[in-house]
């Protein structure tokens, strides 16, 4: 292996999926696994097969479809677990069993009610047994973060002698601080016989907000595999997030470690996991949060518009975003307002821009965050007048045993057009019907539904973001009928795109 390559071991489908409410079915897990393969991770931990028939089945199905990454299955240091994991991995092109046992004082005394010598025996026995089924066996020393280094070194030396190919040093409780975790890895590197024959892995939890820092400290002290999850999801405060580790290694060239991840796919993978797991990403989350590239102060906005690197250390395109978001507040300048209005399809200059800017400042004094809907109200009267597309008619058929179908009538450049389509749901059917009229090849980047209040008669607000030739266009719709609001938002975004690209 290249000495500076860090293997990315993704455990979104195992440690990430253990979070209450985040459970996925097998089809969804396969979708995530395929996205992880496209992202370029080296190892996918697909599940804990003994834990449930669903987990077993997911490992089987993922093993069948994934070609490149190693497929890993978790076990305890228990023979039955190992047998079931081996069976679940039977179709994997590159199978790995991940077995282990607790090594800290707490785990040995209060969880396993055992002693240090017996734990070493059980660890060795588990690795040897796993070796009967697969060549690639990873051993984890659970709660290694709180295990004293001398004893940990003895455990690790014994499992390497038993055949382990990777040794995982989890900070299970997220207790370590970076200097301490780095020292632990260095201690193993310097004191364990044959440690250079195996890969040392980090597996850090985020209870004190230090998972990423600990992982980087581990890498800088000799670890060559990082166990991570998309969006940092996982037990309690989560695991180390994949996007943070990968982007640190990419953007800090002075650290000199690389990964095989195609960073341009980070954002789409993050959105897929967030949607399927029904787990929103916090807006200020590093790399993938909605605000991670949003600038709100006038000085920053002006600086970014003049030269991106004035305030951005990562080009948003590196993670698959098309540009940084300029957040509009009372501190924003004309340049930022003009830029945003253009993205919404309004090219304002001179007096008209000054006029809207004055109204914008007056509104921004009363309202902290100015969103696209507010801007659309500000440019108000001209809004529908200028639109290239207008929704005239929408009829949708859907229900438990019906095939969703939609018929739309649009006014497109002053002429009436009608089309129908079926889809996986009413919104998909309606969007496809619109696409049957407007052939411009746009990509749907974001679709967000929000309720204004909380009642059954609530107005649904829909935001749509589409991408065409590297630029994003936004659309908005509001209606008590959320399908109508969705179609309005979609054709609004299409209108804005066509306004800037009339020949599209
Ligand atoms: O956090 C942990 O210790 C784990 C192990 C099972 C690898 O998830
Ligand atoms: Zn864990």
Instruction: Decide: 145 in ligand 1 pocket, CB within 6 A.
Output: no
CB of 125 within 8 A of CB of 87?
A: no
**Residue 373 pLDDT > 60:** yes
Distance from the alpha carbon of residue 170 to the mean position of ligand 1, in angstroms: 6
pLDDT score, position 349? 86
Report percent pLDDT > 90 for the chain: 65
Ligand at shortest distance from the CA of 100: 1
Instruction: Decide: 170 in ligand 1 pocket, CB within 6 A.
Output: yes
Question: Helix axis angle, 266-276 relative to 26-39, nearest 10°?
Answer: 170
Give the ligand 1 atom nearest the CA of 98: 7
**Residue 455 pLDDT > 60:** no
pLDDT score, position 458? 54
Predicted confidence band of residue 454 (pLDDT cuts 50, 70, 90): very low
Instruction: Decide: 99 in ligand 1 pocket, CB within 6 A.
Output: no
Give the ligand 1 atom nearest the CA of 227: 7
Paired tokens of 13: 């489908």
Q: What is the CA radius of gyration of the chain?
A: 27
Distance from the alpha carbon of residue 402 to the mean position of ligand 2, in angstroms: 43
Predicted confidence band of residue 459 (pLDDT cuts 50, 70, 90): low
Distance from the alpha carbon of residue 98 to the mean position of ligand 1, in angstroms: 10
Residues 6+ apart with CB under 8 A from 310: 300, 303, 304
3-class SS at 18?
A: helix
Q: Is 459 exposed, middle or buried (0-12, 13-18, 19+ CB in 10 A)?
A: middle
If residue 409 lies in a helix (H) or strand (E), which one and from where to where? strand 405-412
Which residue would you say has higher pLDDT here, 460 or 250?
A: 250
Q: Which residue do the tokens 């921004």 mark?
A: 364
Q: pTM for the full model?
A: 0.71
Q: Give the residue-averaged pLDDT of 442-465.
A: 71
Which residue would you say has higher pLDDT here, 374 or 286?
A: 286
Give the ligand 1 atom nearest the CA of 205: 1
**Residue 477 pLDDT > 70:** yes
Distance from the alpha carbon of residue 62 to the mean position of ligand 2, in angstroms: 21
pLDDT score, position 2? 62
**Residue 453 pLDDT > 60:** no
Give the ligand 1 atom nearest the CA of 74: 6
Distance from the alpha carbon of residue 88 to the mean position of ligand 2, in angstroms: 21
35 phi and psi, to 5 degrees? -65, -35
Strand runs (DSSP E) across 123-268, as ranges? Answer: 136-142, 166-171, 199-204, 225-228
Report percent pLDDT > 70 for the chain: 94
490 phi and psi, to 5 degrees? -65, -45
Predicted confidence band of residue 89 (pLDDT cuts 50, 70, 90): very high
CB atoms within 10 A of CB 267: 21
pLDDT in tens, 282-311: 889 999 998 888 776 777 777 877 887 887
Return the residue whose CA atom lies nearest to atom 7 of ligand 1: 140
Distance from the alpha carbon of residue 76 to the mean position of ligand 1, in angstroms: 10
The CATH classification number of 389-500 equals: 3.30.160.270
Give the ligand 1 atom nearest the CA of 11: 8
Domain with CATH 3.20.20.70 in the chain: 7-256
Pocket probe mutation, ligand 1, options 172, 181, 214, 240, max atoms within 8 Å of Cβ: 172
**Residue 141 pLDDT > 80:** yes
Q: Give the residue-averaged pLDDT of 14-39.
A: 93
CA–chain centroid gap for 499, Å, is 32
Return the residue whose CA atom lies nearest to atom 1 of ligand 1: 172
Q: Is 422 exposed, middle or buried (0-12, 13-18, 19+ CB in 10 A)?
A: middle
Pocket probe mutation, ligand 1, options 137, 170, 225, max atoms within 8 Å of Cβ: 170
Q: Give the residue-averaged pLDDT of 366-379.
A: 73
Predicted confidence band of residue 382 (pLDDT cuts 50, 70, 90): very low
CB of 44 within 8 A of CB of 67?
A: no
pLDDT score, position 119? 98
Residues 6+ apart with CB under 8 A from 30: 58, 61, 62, 65
Return the residue whose CA atom lies nearest to atom 2 of ligand 1: 172
Q: Which residues in 86-111 are b (16+ Cβ under 10 Å) and which e?
A: bebbeebebbbbbbbbbbbeebbeee
pLDDT score, position 328? 81
pLDDT in tens, 328-349: 888 888 888 888 888 777 778 8
At residue 64's C-alpha, the angle toward residues 63 and 66, to 5°, is 65
Strand partners, 353: none
Q: How far, in Å, CA of 345 to CA of 348, rounded?
A: 10
pLDDT in tens, 151-163: 999 999 999 999 9
Strand partners, 9: 43, 227
Q: Which CATH superfamily is domain 7-256 in?
A: Aldolase class I (3.20.20.70)
Give the ligand 1 atom nearest the CA of 142: 3
Give the ligand 1 atom nearest the CA of 14: 8
Which residue would you say has higher pLDDT here, 451 or 124?
A: 124
Q: Give the residue-averaged pLDDT of 223-250.
A: 97
Distance from the alpha carbon of residue 15 to the mean position of ligand 2, in angstroms: 6
**Residue 497 pLDDT > 60:** yes
Distance from the alpha carbon of residue 103 to the mean position of ligand 2, in angstroms: 14
Return the residue whose CA atom lies nearest to atom 5 of ligand 1: 142
Q: How far, in Å, CA of 146 to CA of 171, rounded?
A: 7
**Residue 232 pLDDT > 90:** yes
Give the ligand 1 atom nearest the CA of 168: 7
Q: Give the residue-averaged pLDDT of 174-179.
A: 98
Paired tokens of 221: 């002290």
Distance from the alpha carbon of residue 170 to the mean position of ligand 2, in angstroms: 7
Ligand at shortest distance from the CA of 170: 1
Predicted confidence band of residue 381 (pLDDT cuts 50, 70, 90): very low
Q: Give the residue-averaged pLDDT of 311-319.
A: 87
Instruction: Decide: 203 in ligand 1 pocket, CB within 6 A.
Output: yes
Give the ligand 1 atom nearest the CA of 143: 3
Distance from the alpha carbon of residue 100 to the mean position of ligand 2, in angstroms: 12
Paired tokens of 121: 């025996």
Predicted confidence band of residue 195 (pLDDT cuts 50, 70, 90): very high
Paired tokens of 269: 């993978």
Q: Give the residue-averaged pLDDT of 232-253.
A: 96
Instruction: Decide: 15 in ligand 1 pocket, CB within 6 A.
Output: yes
Domain with CATH 3.30.160.270 in the chain: 389-500
CB atoms within 10 A of CB 270: 25
Distance from the alpha carbon of residue 48 to the mean position of ligand 1, in angstroms: 11
Q: Which residue do the tokens 């979609």 mark?
A: 490
Instruction: Decide: 343 in ligand 1 pocket, CB within 6 A.
Output: no
Distance from the alpha carbon of residue 99 to the mean position of ligand 1, in angstroms: 10
Instruction: Decide: 140 in ligand 1 pocket, CB within 6 A.
Output: yes
């Amino acid at each position: 292996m290249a000495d500076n390559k860090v293997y990315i071991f993704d455990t979104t489908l195992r440690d990430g999926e253990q979070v209450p409410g985040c459970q996925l079915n097998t089809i969804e897990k396969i979708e995530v696994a395929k996205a992880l393969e496209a992202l370029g991770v080296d190892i996918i931990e697909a599940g804990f097969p003994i834990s449930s028939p669903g987990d077993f089945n997911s490992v089987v199905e993922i093993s069948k479809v994934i070609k490149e990454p190693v497929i890993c299955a978790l076990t305890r240091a228990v023979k039955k677990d190992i047998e079931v994991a081996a069976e679940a991995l039977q179709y994997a092109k590159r199978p790995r069993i991940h077995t282990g046992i607790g090594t800290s004082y707490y785990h040995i005394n209060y969880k396993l009610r055992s002693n240090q010598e017996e734990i070493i025996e059980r660890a060795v026995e588990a690795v040897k047994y796993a070796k009967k089924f697969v060549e690639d066996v990873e051993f984890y020393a659970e709660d290694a973060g709180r295990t004293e280094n001398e004893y940990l070194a003895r455990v690790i030396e014994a499992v390497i002698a038993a055949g382990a190919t990777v040794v995982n040093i989890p900070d299970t409780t997220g207790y370590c601080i970076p200097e301490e975790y780095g020292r632990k890895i260095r201690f193993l590197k310097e004191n364990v016989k044959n440690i250079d024959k195996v890969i040392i892995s980090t597996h850090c939890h985020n209870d004190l907000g230090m998972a990423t820092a600990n992982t980087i400290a581990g890498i800088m002290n000799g670890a060559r595999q990082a166990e991570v999850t998309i969006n940092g999801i996982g037990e309690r405060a989560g695991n180390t997030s994949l996007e943070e580790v990968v982007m640190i290694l990419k953007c800090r060239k002075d650290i000199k470690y690389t990964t095989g991840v195609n960073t341009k796919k980070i954002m789409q993978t993050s959105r897929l996991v967030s949607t399927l797991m029904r787990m929103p990403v916090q807006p200020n989350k590093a790399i993938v949060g909605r605000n991670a590239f949003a600038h709100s102060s006038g000085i920053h906005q002006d600086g970014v518009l003049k030269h991106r690197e004035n305030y951005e250390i990562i080009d948003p395109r590196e993670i698959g975003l098309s540009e940084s978001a300029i957040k509009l507040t009372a501190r924003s300048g004309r340049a930022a307002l003009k830029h945003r209005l253009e993205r919404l399809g309004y090219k304002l200059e001179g007096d008209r821009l000054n006029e809207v800017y004055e109204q914008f400042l007056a509104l921004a004094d009363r309202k902290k965050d100015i969103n696209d809907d507010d801007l659309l109200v500000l440019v108000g009267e001209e809004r529908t007048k200028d639109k290239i597309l207008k929704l005239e008619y929408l009829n949708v058929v859907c229900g438990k045993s019906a095939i969703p179908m939609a018929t739309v009538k649009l006014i497109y450049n002053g002429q009436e057009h009608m089309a129908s389509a079926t889809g996986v749901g009413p919104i998909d059917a309606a969007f496809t019907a619109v696409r049957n009229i407007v052939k411009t090849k746009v990509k749907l980047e974001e679709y967000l539904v929000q309720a204004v209040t909380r009642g059954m008669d609530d107005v649904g607000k829909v935001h749509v973001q589409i991408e065409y030739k590297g630029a994003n266009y936004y659309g908005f719709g509001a209606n008590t009928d959320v399908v109508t609001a969705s179609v309005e938002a979609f054709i609004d975004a299409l209108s804005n795109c066509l306004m800037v690209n009339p020949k599209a």
